[in-house]
Amino acid sequence: MEKWKLYWINNKFDPISNCFVIAGNMRSARSVEYSQYGEGYSDIVGEFVCNIPERVVSNVDSVYKKYINYRLKRVKIDNYQEDWREEEKFLKSILRKKYTAKDLWPNFADDWVLKELGVDEYFLNGRQAFRLSEKIYTVPAVAEIYFPPVGRDSREGMIGSVSEFSSFIRERCGGASWLYRGQRDAMWKLESGVERYNRKFILSQKRVDVERKILSQFKLRAIPYLEVNRIPTNDWEWLSIAQHYGLPTRLLDWTRNPLFALFFAVSNSNSDRDAVVYAYSHGRNPIDISSRRDPMSIDKIEVFEPPHLSQRVALQNSVFTAEPIFENSKNSWQEQAKIIRWMVPADSINNIRRELEAMGVDESSLFPGLDAICSSLRRRMEAGFES
């Protein structure tokens, strides 16, 4: 049986096309990249990464079709704003065939193979990065190749310091209508917890039915643990409490304070990958829950301002967006909405975290309680109490 290998191809002529290729030998791997562009063969350099495990090669048909079946289940959801039927037809045609390794390779390495090999994909200082067995392979950003920055802080759309971020906000986010959200991994999608859960596990029942059942169970079990004067009066408020305590819901957390969002982006990061901050302007007033009492019936993204049922909601200036089921809604993002994305490079995260702490933006101010105080002090100990 032919031995298949994973190679990293570095294209010196066009570095943004650097990629993984599966082939039987180095020459074949370089030819895959060359066939895509038809020039610069001498500029294409290959590096052996690892052998493709026998369990993948011998079971390539079942492993590949498992990936195709997953895509088939997701196709309508992921292409809710496009005509998804053509892709569905194409995917079904794949499932009707029998595949061996020679039918698929030599070729560029698809996501399913990289996942089987344990490749971790993320962003590192503005570059797309892949980690396998502690070795990191990167693809330069387009701007890095064609519009090289003059200095380190010139990286377009990158937050290098708190002052730089504040300048971005002043220049692009005038007015109090903007909402902000920070995420510690720039690869993560901007989506609600229940949608992430659905994407990962593919719920066997209709998503909205699962949401209703889970919320109903939460309401039954949560009442003994709530203060008498803070028991929710409608499903919107129940959702916000459930979201606060970690239940996957259709709500997505935002804040009106951009520095809080920046803190959430860097606070739990290991500084081994880029974080991200989003700014969002809804373009419409928050939803009036007195006239739209069922959060499961919305057909577009709505902004929901929760009552201060918990201290943290008030301290963090929390606001939620509520997502519909996108496959049922072709006009979820209305024309008035605006969204901006800034990445926080890994090499700036520790410095930004220290700057925020010096400004009083830390765990103890946003998560009141003894656990947050100890977490904040632990960070200061690790930093040698620099301040």
pLDDT at 151: 45
Beta pairing, strands 318-322 & 302-304: antiparallel
Q: Is the dihedral of CA 144, 149, 152, 153 positive or negative?
A: negative
First and final C-alpha spacing in the chain: 62
pLDDT at 77: 65
Containing 143, the helix (H) or strand (E) segment is: helix 142-146
- Cis preceding-peptide flag for 140 (omega within 30 of 0): no
pLDDT at 308: 64
Q: How far does CA 91 lie from the centroid of its chain?
A: 25
Q: What is the mean pLDDT of each run of 10 residues along the chain (387 residues)?
A: 90 91 96 84 93 95 92 72 78 94 96 96 95 94 63 66 95 88 94 86 76 94 83 90 90 94 91 95 89 88 81 75 72 70 95 92 74 70 59
Q: Is the dihedral of CA 354, 355, 359, 364 positive or negative?
A: negative
pLDDT at 30: 95
